[in-house]
Amino acid sequence: MSAAGSGVAVQIDAQAAAYGVVPIGRHEVAALAVQIGNILGLSTASLDIRITTDFGIAGLNARYLGCVGPTNVLSFPNEYGGGSLVLNAQAVAREAWLYAQDPLEHWVRLVAHGLLHLYGLDHGPAMDAATETAVEQAGIPCIS
């Protein structure tokens, strides 16, 4: 399902929905991704977002990166200038609590982080600065 005219498809795994740790719905996640893409100057025309759990992302982390255990976000670029983001709703909720952040603010941070990875940016000062720019400019709440 994509938000009207956004081109962003969002899937929320049944397990993630059952845990009740996704603070916004599919349309809001799509709108958030488009807003962050606009702030960062990144296209979201070819973007799929999957929201999953520790279990769901741990399997992908092992299969594609050879890493054991869950992570918060994975990015899978495609040849069309976009790709797929997989966000772990349980990790987002845990980390928001751990870092004393508003859960929606942490969603903004991780969507920005994932988008930046899709477009080739690695961890470091440039990614940190761009991520914080997205958080500051998105505003909370960032969904209108």
Binding residues for Zn(2+): 113, 117, 123
Give CA–CA dist 116/60, Å, rounded.
19
- For the annotated binding site, the residues are 113, 117, 123
| Pairing state between β 73-77 and 83-88 | antiparallel
- C-alpha to C-alpha distances, 2 to 31, 49, 104, 142, nearest whole angstrom: 9, 10, 20, 18
Give CA–CA dist 64/72, Å, rounded.
15
Give CA–CA dist 69/55, Å, rounded.
8
What letter represents residue 99's amino acid?
Y
